[in-house]
Structure 1
Amino acid sequence: MMEPLGNDLTKMRQPQSPIQPALAKLAATSAPPTRARIRQQKLRYTFVGYIIVLIFLAITQFIGLGFFASGFLLSRKVLPDIATCDDGSCVEPRFERAVVLVVDALRFDFAIPVPGSEMNYHNNFPVLYDLAQGDNGVLLKFVADPPTTTLQRLKGLTTGSLPTIIDAGSNFNGDAIDEDNWLLQLHRKNKTIAFAGDDTWTALFDEYIHPDMNFPYPSLNVWDLHTVDNGVIEHLYPSIKTRDWDILIGHFLGVDHVGHRYGPKHYSMKEKLNQMNSVVEKVVEELDDSTLLVILGDHGMDYTGNHGGDSPDELESTLFMYSKSKSFLKKDDDAYNISNEGKHYRAVNQIDLVPTMSLLLGLPIPFNNLGFPIDEAFASMDSLLSAGNRTIEQIKRFRDLTPSLANTLQGSYDTLVENTLSGLYSNADLLEELKKFQYDSLEQCKTLWARFDLRFIGIGIGILFLSLTFMITYARSIPAVRVSTMSFEFIGSVVAMSIIGVVLSFSIYIVLKPGDFNFKICLFIGAALGMMIGFWAPIMDRFSVAYIWHSTIDFFLYNFNSWSFLGIVFVAFHCLVFASNSYVVWEDKMVSLFLLSFGASCVYAIAIKPNIPQKERVLGISHALTFVILTRLSSMINACREEQRPYCSTTFTTSWWSIALLHTMAYLLPSAIIAFYKLSDSYYSAAPLWIGTGLKFLLFMNAMYWSLEYISHNETFKAANSVIGAPLIKSLKLAIARLVLFVSLVLANFSWSRGPLCVKLEIEEDIDVEGLDSDDYKNSKAATILGYGNVYGSSYFLLVLNFTVAVMLTTKPLGALSISFLIIQILSLLEIVGTLSLRKNLISPIIFGLLGYQHFFSTGHQATIPSIQWELGFMTTETIVFPLTHINIILNTFGPFFITALSIPLLNIWRISPSSKPITVLSQIITNLATFITYFLFTGLSSLIFAAHFRRHLMVWKIFAPRFMLSAMLIVAINTFIIIVTLWGTRKTLGQVNRIFGK
């Protein structure tokens, strides 16, 4: 006889050996009965049906995103023409050879005096300014075109053309440049090019560099400050002395890597700038009279040390030119005013270097060049005017052969020629006329290349909208749609209609040949539309339009309450955020406001809820207050966008107190989780091993990793570093990171998949049953299953902890603190949901989505390219190693969303006893997962629509485009993670519990 005692205890009593059947079930030693086996098979088939449906839905979303990105992210066609001296652009070379040194991320204020500043990035690279005080050197502000990523900057610095936004995605997979450039021109003239440094150059120009003088070094390990620089120095000094080259290129990366790893304020920046200063001094000593020295930065860095965007600190780099024998054409001294940290210093565009280098070395100006010669590089006004005329002729040839530019600005060009021939203008006036034509041409090119393909944008938005309508129906409108039998109807219909759609699109392509819609595009459109028709066909076949309408009305009438209304308000306001650049900038604060509003509403709702025991009311209010307090604390951890200043102060830093908090949280977080487990009487069996031992150990190891990281690069511990040894500290860090990542992602998940349950069978012997003859119940026993009332949730939450540890490892200390807050918020939210009966309410998965956004921001991220924490990809490796480097970056960027996506099933299985209908439980979980995905589809579609609407907005590439790209990546990442991980964990939990406790 089994007697249930509340939600958490179940007692089994009968004479003699009453617990043997229970023990048999718990140990799963006997074969399950036929009914249980059938139930397991049905659960397995249902699971397969759901996962295939979600895969098809994800594919339609991905196709929609692909079309939108193709129409929105700009690209341009490159003319294959190669300039020759027959074009008339060649002149006698002013220099026989050149040394070009690239100091990556050399922001302009790093190279000029900043009186009174004690920053580590100021006044530690004085040699350029000192040399520029004479006539043999010139120092200029060097302004980049966004995006400020190295590969795009190298393209601009060698071709003179402008990058487009889609080029930024190739920064880590640089292919050879397929357009005219001055290195190609050197190669065509049989000049010898020597190179050492960033291997991006070899990806772009490998066929032009002399194979015996090519010394590339891996460039993307931003935690390695010295390998590339030391390699360049090793080959630079001997090469300068031999002079068996025509162009010697060295690309230093240390300054850039210090910025990425520590930010510009770190003491390592002072050391690196001092090193660059010494290098330049030695190179200048070894120069001969016929060699030009060019030192430049490809971009700058923002206050965090990152780059990729278009803030002034990222765009303003440095250009220095020097020769021992040649003088430069200095302008008015006011143009070189160093006051106000160089803000009024003379500036030139980076593409202007291309015609300058070409003319100084006697090369044809690359055919696609859009820049203008730098005034200071030429000895006299006559030579500068000659250089300007040749450049304008080259630009005119380029424009005439470009269909979108041909016959435009022709009147301006004719007037320019007429003024030149008239002899009525001074040289200075003619030079200004030439510059004006080049400027107008450049601005027109920027406008024309900013063309969007509205057809693809419209198709992408349309496909995503159709996908959203079905997701709403699937998630909430018609409950019968989610039954297991419907899943297989969807599968058959989708496959059939997709095939028909592909065949029809192929036929249309063959018959009509629809312009720019190539064969692949037609197939994708056909497949996407076929899948959407395939989703709707079974619904329209089984349910009439009237039924669908009434079902939707019933949903709003009977399931819609104040909480559902609040959830819809949050989604609506979040979607409207993207209608304003100011609101996008402050999205992190908006998300915190939504969560605080929800938390305050929960406090009020629990306080006034009728018919609730006082103890439960106090406990519920405590959980709600905990949620509110942690939400507020999380909002205080932030990395400010440039646009948020001066109203935002960055708190996301690594310091001694953040390390101390990390060590403290290694003890407090497991203790807090244990307290929640004890509330449901679930801290048994696997729980003490997972939480009390494993979690504490891994969090401690994580804290030790960041302690070693802080010690190894803090000026205070320099003496300790020399005693311990940098190689030993580096080896310890790698060992710790690899151990934690392996245990959390591999070993712990494998162990979890074997089915650990957080229950305990407690046996009580010689019980006394009141009112019965004791002789009849001699040797009677009672068994109590502790944790029975939360057997699903307590087991499943261990999987959440596995991934939480991995995310915390790949996050900086304050980010790990934020993730700790997230875990407690999730547990508090689960208790609130149970108290207020919100398991099936619309608002619950929406709050999980908002939690993902909040902790995305509080782990140091923003919807900007510079906020990507590339350096954390090298926690477990010294070089790029697939997939470890990529996993680290993905976990760091999307970790909070992964944790919330993995926690969604807990809404339905936290604090419930084993169900005799696991398929029903699975259906409810699918409802919440689909709602979670729908929330991100709503925000993503809104972001896409407003990005398309504001495509001509001044801030489109600074604000709207990065936010759309974040939305697109979130849709891909969340769908993929839910299908691969969340559903796997759900299936394992339901299957294991049903196998043991199935009725």
Structure 2
Amino acid sequence: MILFAILQTIALTFFTRGFLLSRNVLPDLATCQNQQSEILSKLGKSSKYISNSSNDSCFHPSPFKKTVILVIDALRFDFTIPNPNTAPYLNNFPIFYDTFTNNSENALLLKFLADPPTTTLQRLKGLSTGSLPTFIDAGSNFDGDTVWEDNLLSQFYHHNKSIAFMGDDTWTAMFSPFINSSICYPYDSLNVWDLHSVDNGVIENIFPLLEEQESWDVLVGHFLGVDHCGHRYGPDHYAMKQKLLQLNDIVEQIMQKISDDTLLIVFGDHGMDSTGNHGGESKDEIEAALFMYSKQPFFKHFDDPDNSIYNISNGGENYRHVNQIDITPTIAMLLGIPIPFNNLGSPIAEAFQGDKTGYSIASMLTSSQINNYRLTSNELRDDELLNEKYQTIWDKWSEEILNENYQKIWEQWSKIKSKSESNSLLIDDNYNYQLSSLQKCKEKWANFDDLNIWIGIILLFISLVVLIIYSKLVPSVVVYQLNNQCLMGSFILILVYCALSTAFSIVFKPQGLTINWALLLGVALGISNGILAPIMDRYSLFWLLLQIRENLVQNGWTYTGMLIIFLHSLIFTSNSFIIWEDKIVSFWLTTFGFLAFFKSFQQKEDHKKYLGAYHSFMFILFTRLTSLITSCREEQGGKCVSNFKISWWSIVLLYISAIVLPYIIKSFYNVSYSYQGAASLWIGKAFRSVLFLIAFYWTLEYIENDEVITAYLYIPFTKGAKLTIARTAIGISLFVGTIGWTGGPFCVKVDLSETEVLDPNPSKIKKKSQAVKSTEIQKVAKILGYGNVYGSSYFLFFLNILAAVMLVSKPLGGLSLFFLVNQLLTLFELVDILNIRTNLVSVVVMTLLGYLHFFTTGHQATLQSIQWETGFMFTETISFPFTHLAIILNTLGPFILIAVAIPLLVIWKIPPTKKPITLCSKIVENSMTVLIYQTILTLVTLVMTNHLRRHLMVWKIFAPRFMLNALILFLFNIILTFISVGYSSVNAVLRWYQVFGTR
């Protein structure tokens, strides 16, 4: 299984490398000279708008000498405008709109549209470079590398402007070479449960610097409180109101303290959805706010007599908006530095009223810069349509420049209500050219490496074929015998294929297949051939095909499992089906329950009929109850109502489950008399105690976050108490419990009883009176729990993992896992009654349970549904591995539990066997069946995501779903190989023989 894990990991790596978009970043650094050369040829050697001196600024539309840039992370646009509703996130940040309406020449408020994915690092890169970081940049959100691409901060640095910074340490990860280290104050950015430390750090340092303006030219502050509040509580929480009011006051104070020659720019890097998360492309996630302010009357707005451009009705639905990358050329020209070389943004028209002719110059300079960038790029230079469009604009603009018609151009353009009404105007021609260039670049940057994509798909398909042959067509005994041959053959063939693939890459030099990647391909080919070679040497292909009917298909249940796999695969052909996958999975599980109900009545024994019907009914009931827990994704709209929030009743249900769940588990153990030894200690005491600790933890969290309670009750120790409880619970469950389970007793008890036994030699008995005298008293030993010795012991290990996952799951997520335990125990009873332990359908149902509870623990196949805040349950700051462990357990916990529970399909209610290797082989077979199911789903997502890569929803729906399937497949390989098969189940099976007999 280790070889399969390596092979599939390599396949996913190749596909990911080929599919996740990347673009070639040009290393050029913009200078005043190269941006002005074309313009100067028309204007002459001197101009009050453009400087020909390398020591002077490039552009002079305004008198600003300094700028203060404030980023309020996740500041959604509707947070800043009046609204008749009374939600906590509304009407608590009035400073922007009030200043804009009362002092229109001093301020500007616009809707600021972010490009998805809406993660902080990706947005900061786009804001600083004016370009479009691709999807893969989102994955770097927690490990930012220095941005060497030409950007605003590097331009400030090269023009001897001192940059001061305070706030989110993402800035120092990206721009540290350009920031003045003596006035740099970074703070840890990823503790989303901390609403105040970063903001307080910014406040503490920014006001002294505003008093000492000689030390800096650019002052950057990045507040994180609004974003963290959203992640922790969602926008609809009283803490959001307090945070917005605080930052509103801070911005107002900064406005008062800046000098007359300082430009203040405040914006949000993205918004947030109704749950407080971001990363996708919903309306609430991409709509941020942009505010610009100057003590001098500098800004000019479009004429808006019917209030259609700056209309705030319906939450500003039709309010004037600009792209976030538009801020890049705007800041560059307002501060007199070159526009960054890779910029694709357009200057913001209202920001150039300081000189009425300024926007005409700014617009043409930007078009010239974009054209220069395009002509430098090999992949963009040959677009004849854009080249022709630029030449037309240039000819027309040259004529207007010579006639000095700046004022006329501005006055005509500034009166329009919509740019589409003035296509004949020169400024609009420039704007349209800039937008066309941006669109063409988006299309060009969708560069998919087809070679790597298809290598990944083919390798994953090969792994699927090998898995089916290895686990289903070849007898398990033979597989066990061939293991050593497979390992040795793989090692030899890896060397051979690595040499061949390396030679191929050197000779033919295929694009995208460097020597390192050729070696990786050689490893994959060596593994796949190394596994198949011993099998094909022993069996012919024809013989293997004959085994499909005999070994692969057992009965009607197998066809049911195959049908579900087929239907599940079809989901990924449609974005609508993917959106509603949570409901579809619930339907399939309910269908299995109904089939099991009717199938139970075909059993010959009456008690099995009624017992099977009962468990089928309970399985259906628990599935339906689980599906009532919903955490909706944005695309589901009004057809889904999310109830996944921390509430008093969800806390109460946690306490109820802490009381009830141990009793339910005990009742299942009592069926096989297995509630003995370690079971009574762990289930009745330790496990129940951990469940109460979990419930108490979330009680403290609820108290800490409730506005009414905190208004009357102040508990200063909640933070420390929560850390202590979480650390205690995780320590007991994962470490103490697992170590104790490894060497602890079985769930059995030896019961000694006395009984009368007759003389075994009745021939010696001559009279009836002698028969009575010939009896003797003997002691008889019975082993209680003998009939489920493997399953009862292994289930205790499962409970260790369950407790850890329940700890990091929110209250309704814990309730979902409570239902999962009931479903699993019911399923184990059903597979025993229906005799489908190693049938495909049992594994399929187990895997579907993982998907169902992934959704009902508050997750969706979207970036914004990741519950990052749980990463700080064990530590106050990011600390490896505890932060990462909490997020993994929270996000993938249901799949981890299912992978750990897979051996129980085989060993539940099985007495000790004289052939433990055979039992272990069946466990391996079921584990490989899980991998087959998940490999099929992943393979289909790879094919369909690649096929639909130009689909409008590819980055919103298809790509995240592919990444989730890839993560699940990787996780299953790890858990099944090293824990479920490699350690835990083997331990449970073989330890019996170490204690009570020989293997």
TM-score (norm 1): 0.92
5 Å matches for 1:562-641?
562-606=556-600, 608-613=601-606, 615-641=607-633
Deviation digits for residues 5-34 of structure 1, max 9, x if unmatched? Answer: xxxxxxxxxxxxxxxxxxxxxxxxxxxxxx
**Residue 213 and residue 625 in structure 1: after superposition, are their counterparts in 2 closer, same or farther (change >3 A)?**
same
User: C-alpha distance in 2, partners of 1:775/1:230?
Assistant: 94
Q: Is 1:79 matched up with 2:26?
A: yes
Q: Secondary structure at the match of 1:249?
A: strand
SS in 2 for 1:645: helix
1:400 corresponds in structure 2 to 375
Match among 884, 887, 897 for residue 882 of structure 2: 884
Shift, 1:782, TM fit: 1.1
Matches within 5 A, 1:327-338: 327-333=298-304, 334-338=308-312
Distance 1:481 1:343 in 2: 67
Secondary structure of 1:764's aligned partner: strand
Structure 2 CA distance, aligned partners of 1:620 and 1:610? 9
For residues 946-985 of structure 1, what are the structure 2 equivalents within 5 Å? 946-983=944-981, 984-985=983-984
Cα shift at 1:381: 4.1
- Deviation for aligned residue 1:87: 2.4
Once the two structures are superposed, the pairs formed by residues 332-351 of structure 1 within 5 Å of their partners are 332-333=303-304, 334-351=308-325
Match of 2:417 in 1: none
Of the three residues 668, 692, 697, the one matched with 1:676 is: 668
- 2:753 is matched with which residue? 764
* 2:519 is equivalent to residue 523 of structure 1: yes
Structure 2 CA distance for partners of 1:719 and 1:774, relative to 1, 3 Å: farther
Cα shift readout 1:90-129 (whole Å, capped 9, x = no counterpart) = 11253011111110000000001112x1100000000110
Instruction: Report the 3-state secondary structure (helix = DSSP H, G, I; strand = E; otherwise coil) of the residue aligned with 1:579.
Output: coil
> Which residue of structure 1 aligns with residue 655 of structure 2?
663
User: What do the CA deviations read for 1:434-460 (whole angstroms, capped 9, x no partner)?
Assistant: 000000000000000012111111110
Residue in 2 that maps onto 1:811: 809
- Residue 502 of structure 1, aligned match among 498, 503, 520: 498
Distance across 1 between alignment mates of 2:295 and 2:86: 32
Q: 1:567 to 1:937 in 2, by over 3 A?
A: same
Residue in 1 that maps onto 2:238: 267
Cα distance in 2, alignment partners of residues 768 and 540 from structure 1: 60
**How far apart are the structure 2 equivalents of 1:517 and 1:284?**
55
1:695 aligns with 2:687: yes
1:370–1:438 Cα contact (<8 Å) kept: yes
- Structure-2 separation of matches of 1:769 and 1:932: 54
Aligned to 1:143: 113
Distance between the aligned counterparts of 1:515 and 1:98, measured in 2? Answer: 45
Post-superposition shift, 1:382?
1.3
Match of 1:127 in 2: 95
Question: Aligned-residue CA RMSD in angstroms?
Answer: 1.5
**Size of the alignment, in residue pairs?**
938
Among 470, 486, 492, which residue is 2:488 paired with?
A: 492
Partner Cα distance (1:849, 1:272) in 2: 43
Residue identity opposite 1:994 in structure 2:
Y
Whether 1:231 aligns to 2:201 is yes
**2:348 is the alignment partner of 1:374:** yes
Q: What are the residue-to-residue correspondences of 1:547-558 with 2, within 5 Å?
A: 547-555=543-551
- What is the match of residue 391 of structure 1? 366
Q: Name the SS of the counterpart of 1:652 in structure 2.
A: coil
Mapping of residues 395-474 of structure 1, within 5 Å: 395-408=370-383, 409-423=386-400, 427=409, 428=413, 429-474=425-470
1:168 matched residue in structure 2: 138
**Residues 600-641 of structure 1: CA deviation (Å, up to 9, x unaligned):** 1111111x214112x332222111111101111111111111
- 1:12-91 to structure 2, matched below 5 A, reads 54-89=1-36, 90-91=58-59
Aligned to 1:221: 191
Q: Map residues 681-760 of structure 1 onto 2, 5 A cutoff.
A: 681-719=673-711, 721-722=713-714, 724-725=715-716, 728-760=717-749
Task: Report the counterpart of residue 47 of structure 1 in structure 2.
Answer: none
Structure 1 counterpart SS, 2:468? helix
1:186 — aligned with what? 156
Structure 1 residue 768, shift from structure 2 partner: 5.7
Is the 1:259–1:305 Cα contact (8 Å) retained in structure 2? yes
Give the secondary-structure state (helix, strand or coil) at the position aligned to 1:807: helix
Residues 755 and 989 in structure 1, CA contact (< 8 A), matched pair in contact too? no
Letter in 2 for 1:184: S
Which residues of 2 match residues 829-908 of structure 1 at below 5 A? 829-908=827-906
In structure 2, distance between residues paired with 1:513 and 1:829: 54
Greater displacement, 559-568 / 478-487? 478-487
Other-structure match for 2:73: 104
- Give, as a single letter, the amino acid of the residue that structure 1 aligns with 2:595: S
| 1:310 aligned onto 2:281 | yes
Cα separation, 1, equivalents of 2:389 and 2:502: 48
Matched position secondary structure for 1:781: strand
Cα separation, 2, equivalents of 1:60 and 1:867: 30
Displacement of 1:481:
6.8
The 2-side partners of 1:148 and 1:665 are apart by 38
Matched-pair contact (CA < 8 Å) for 1:865–1:962? yes
Matched-pair contact (CA < 8 Å) for 1:104–1:253: yes
Q: Output the CA distance in 1 between the equivalents of 2:759 and 2:632.
A: 69
Does the 8 A contact of 2:23 with 2:447 survive in 1? no
Say if 2:276 is the partner of 1:289. Answer: no
Distance 2:759 2:75 in 1: 86
* Matched letter for residue 985 of structure 1: S
| Distance change >3 Å, CA 770–CA 104, structure 1 → 2 | farther
| Equivalent position SS for 2:598 | helix
Measured after TM superposition, the shift of residue 75 of structure 1 is 0.7
Counterpart in the other structure of 1:30: none
- Map 1:899-918 to 2 at 5 A: 899-918=897-916
Q: Which runs of 5+ in 1 are unaligned?
A: 1-53
Matched residues in 2 for 1:513 and 1:776: separation?
94
Is the CA contact (8 Å cut-off) linking 2:452 and 2:512 kept in structure 1? no
Separation in 2, partners of 1:291, 1:109: 27
Q: Tell me the SS of whatever aligns to 1:783.
A: strand
Q: Check conservation: 1:814, 1:859, Cα contact below 8 A.
A: yes
Displacement of 1:492 after TM fit? Answer: 1.4
Note if contact 1:353-1:371 (Cα within 8 Å) is conserved in structure 2. Answer: yes
| Counterpart for residue 22 of structure 1 | none
Does the alignment pair 1:988 with 2:963? no
Provide Cα deviations, 1:492-547, integer angstroms capped at 9, x if missing partner.
Answer: 11111111111212232344333442101111111111211111111110012221
Pick from 150, 159, 163 the counterpart of residue 129 of structure 2. 159
Deviation at 1:920, TM superposition (A): 0.5
What secondary structure sits across from 1:895 in the alignment?
helix
Report the Cα distance in structure 1 between the residues aligned to 2:450 and 2:696, rounded to whole angstroms.
52
Q: Cα distance, 1:188 vs. partner? A: 1.2
* 1:567–1:846 contact (8 Å) kept in structure 2: yes
Distance 1:561 1:655 in 2: 47
| Secondary structure of the structure 2 residue equivalent to 1:664 | helix
Structure 1 counterpart of 2:63 = 94
1:703-723 CA distance string (max 9 Å, x none): 00000000011101114542x
Equivalent position amino acid for 1:279 in 2: I
Matched residue of 1:467: which SS?
Answer: helix
Q: Which amino acid aligns with 2:637?
A: R
d(CA) in 2 for partners of 1:642, 1:611 = 50
| Aligned equivalent of 2:147 | 177
